[in-house]
Amino acid sequence: MKISYFACACALITSSAHAYEICQLGDELLVLDKESFNAVQQDNYQTFSEDITADTLFTTAPEHLPELKPTLPDTEGVFTRTSLLLETGPASTLAIESGEAARLMSTLGRTSSGLAKGALEALGPIGDAAAVGLWARDVANTFQDESRTSYDRFTSVMGLIDWFGALKLPEREIDRHILSKRWAAIATGEHYSFSVHQDLVTRQDVRNKAHWAALAANQDVMLTQVVNGYATDLALKYQLHYQEAVKAQTEMAETLLNAIDLEVRKTLSTHFAFDWEDTRLFASDFSSACRTQVSTLEALYPVYRENNSAPQSLPSTKEANRALSTLQRCQFALQQSAFVVLDELSQGRRDGLSQPAMHYLYRTALEAKKQVVDTADNHLSLIQQKLRQDMRKAGHDTIDALFASGTIQQSTQFFKDQASRYAVDEMARSVLYRPATGQELNTKVLVLQPGYSKCTYFGVSQRNPQIPMCLEETWIPAETRRFDQTKDVVVNAIRLPIKQKYISYFDDAMQQLVTHGWDANNEEEWLETQLKDYARQQTTKQQSRDDKALVQRWLFASLGNECRGDNACAGWGQAYLAKERLSHNSSLTDIAKWLAAYPNPNSYVHKHRLAKLKVELPRALESEWQAALSHSYHSYAYPESFNIEHYAPLIDSALKGAGLNFSALVNPAQIDKVMPLFKRIVKTNIMEAMVQSEMRGNEWLNAQIGDFQRYAAIVHAQNTTTGHYAPGQADNNILFSQPLPAYLLRYSISEVPGISNLPAGYDGTLSASIDAMYTPSSSLGQRITEVSTAQEEIAAQIGRACDIDYTALKQSLLNLSGNDTLMWLYPMSDWVDSLTREQLRLQAVINWGAQQQTDNHLSCQLSRNNPRYF
């Protein structure tokens, strides 16, 4: 992915909502049109990007929620050095105690309970700004180096894709089970029937040569359809693997960014910690620092249930004043200690957090993140190129194997031979005025004049010189004419398909899919073609059965009053039929032979039956041939469809079991009315089969729904894409174009001025925020000063007044916590937020305690003149 594309998208894409109704896999199966698919891509990309959009890239400081000790899988030694860096962490320069480590883990959002090792070991070393910066740079450089050489560890890009499985990508195994393994069945060449059936030739030896030429021409249509199917299956397979690569690169990059953020948070959280009662206090400890004092005060004024009528036990005035004073002092000490940290930090006196050190820490961490994301993005581009190369090679290899198998040559020669048989018969009738013999049809040689012996030397007999005789004979060969295929226009037009033509078809189909994806209209048309051809097949077979039944009726049935006259429609007796070996089990060919040899064709008693048989039998033979053709030559009779009866028995059974009128689907006047019902039945059964396949397996699914699995796979691929931030952009391909999520890619353009309405970009804003921290005149410096001033104003009231007005202090804390500059200094902003929340809570408890004294008529003894509560 080019970074400029993403930057352009960030400038152009708005956050307007899409009002599209997108069909999901759980609803009706439907291939999405371009507009709907673009909407799905955008929605899915926003989800993949955790709702970070082009408008919200840097509306807040980027925040990652790291695990303790993020790790990369290293089963193949691909990222050995990167994994080792994550394991060891930066050089340890800051020491903490075990108990402090557990509390620091809590500050980082992790608990130490249930750990197999102690908190200190789980937390790992804590480095200062310099150590963390160097370590982050090492992580980024090492990841880049090992990514460059990762291919060397695998014999193919698929080996690397398989290794990504170690990342435990969601649904990877399910998708592979349903989609990817299907290709193995396709690539064997056994999925489609290219074989011819010699048994048909014995039924009707001579068919019109144009008939065979038409079947041969259909072979081109069929092969083109097969090649397009290959392209789609390959596109589905390799797009799936590309999506695996996108998710894997995302997970690896996110793991490294999490690790970098973790070390930054560890060092800053440790530097922000301050001494408190023989330990150090971290942000997560704020809520417990004055817990004892809060509990003591609250215990003095228990809350009674509504039905509790017992008199309230009030504390003594001394107890009330002492508890209130103690909490005031704790609250003030906590706030004062915390703001010592901020004061020291803003004045550059906080150990390890000087202005240069902070710049170095944030800058090197950001640069490392940028490098990690760029490495992942570049690696993804390389994987995409390799997958496309492999995909093209796989298609070419399959077409090569198909032609090398000899099946195409065999079928072409078969059609040519059958067309030649008719041409030979034509020649015999034209030259010899008779049909060609079986031998002539097979040898394609006509005998114009049989061979004979001719006397070439006459003499006289030795016994009787008066009698002339032949003394020498010479054999005169037969005069023949061999059929020359090249001189017959129809036969000569039947040519062996050229392999390169279909390789070019494949390349064009593949490029079309990569560039534009799947066309909803084309896929629906494909589905409808399957159903229309299936209906034609079923109608043809039913017509064959009906025609044969009609022939048998006129041959065997008692017709009663249907015959004209008394004797014109007499049947044949059972004895005669048995003698002629005719029964309901007889083939139409056997009946035709009997009829052709019938000794009394003009017999009056059978006249009407014979007349009907002579009309109906040719029709029945033709419909029987067409039915056999639709079954045994399905790929050539219906070159744009696959044989549902053979390859999708579950769908075949569902359609036949629905009691549908198949003839309606081949009737132009009715097709628009009935097609939706046919499609609904097919789609419903496809979805049910896919659900069952989770238990029964991919082989079962493939055997039950055949190429309909491809249709479902397209719908699945469309709806499960990780998406794109700008799917409608003209220079974006549909396949192999899905980028890393926006929460990662934003680092690649974080320096762009104006991004997320930041004039200096995120990089410049972060740098300026660090400077503001150390500049008293900045808005952030002024907010810190305001808090210090408000704190000084109430200092004299601590322990000397019950009702303290915290309004100014509260507002100054809120102003500091909400400062726009502080927001970018994560995790310092979190530290201030935690302090502010706890201070507001403690102030509220103190005010509540003072109010309780007033309500219970307990005099306030806190004053400047009463040091007993100071």
Ordered by start, the domain boundaries in the chain are 280-305+313-349+778-869, 519-705
Question: What pLDDT score was predicted for residue 177?
Answer: 41
Of 74 and 729, the structure prediction assigns the larger pLDDT to 729
Q: What is the pLDDT of residues 787-846, one digit of tens each?
A: 999 999 999 899 889 989 999 999 999 999 999 999 999 899 999 999 999 999 999 999
3-state secondary structure of 467: coil
Q: What is the pLDDT of residues 12-59, one digit of tens each?
A: 333 332 322 223 333 578 999 999 999 999 999 999 999 998 889 998
3-state secondary structure of 113: coil
Q: Measuring CA to CA, how many Å separate 547 from each of 468, 583, 596? A: 68, 16, 19
Question: What pLDDT score was predicted for residue 66?
Answer: 63
3-state secondary structure of 498: coil
Which helix (H) or strand (E) segment holds residue 447: the answer is strand 445-449
Cβ(259)–Cβ(70) below 8 Å: yes
Question: What pLDDT score was predicted for residue 67?
Answer: 67
Question: What pLDDT score was predicted for residue 218?
Answer: 87
Q: What is the pLDDT of residues 346-394, one digit of tens each?
A: 998 998 899 999 999 999 999 999 999 999 999 999 999 999 999 999 8
d(CA 792, CA 814): 17
Contacts 24+ apart (CB under 8 A), 808-814: 809/839, 809/843, 810/839, 810/840, 810/843, 812/783, 812/786, 812/787, 813/787, 813/839, 813/840
- The rounded Cα 502 to chain-centroid distance in angstroms is 27
d(CA 70, CA 147): 18
What the block records as the tokens of 456 is: 């070439």
What the block records as the tokens of 729 is: 């952009």
Q: Against a cut of 0.85, is the pTM above it?
A: no
Of 215 and 721, the structure prediction assigns the larger pLDDT to 721
What are the phi and psi torsion angles at 446 (to 5°)?
-95, 140
Whose tokens are 């037969």? That residue is 478
Which helix (H) or strand (E) segment holds residue 452: the answer is strand 452-460
CA count, 13 A, side-chain hemisphere, 714: 25
The average pLDDT across 492-503 equals 91
d(CA 529, CA 517): 20
Question: What pLDDT score was predicted for residue 25?
Answer: 39
What the block records as the tokens of 679 is: 């499609």
d(CA 498, CA 490): 19
What the block records as the tokens of 212 is: 């065979």
pLDDT over 90, % of the chain: 48
- The rounded Cα 726 to chain-centroid distance in angstroms is 18
Instruction: pLDDT band for 155, please (50, 70, 90 cuts).
Output: low
d(CA 250, CA 739): 9
Cβ(609)–Cβ(617) below 8 Å: no
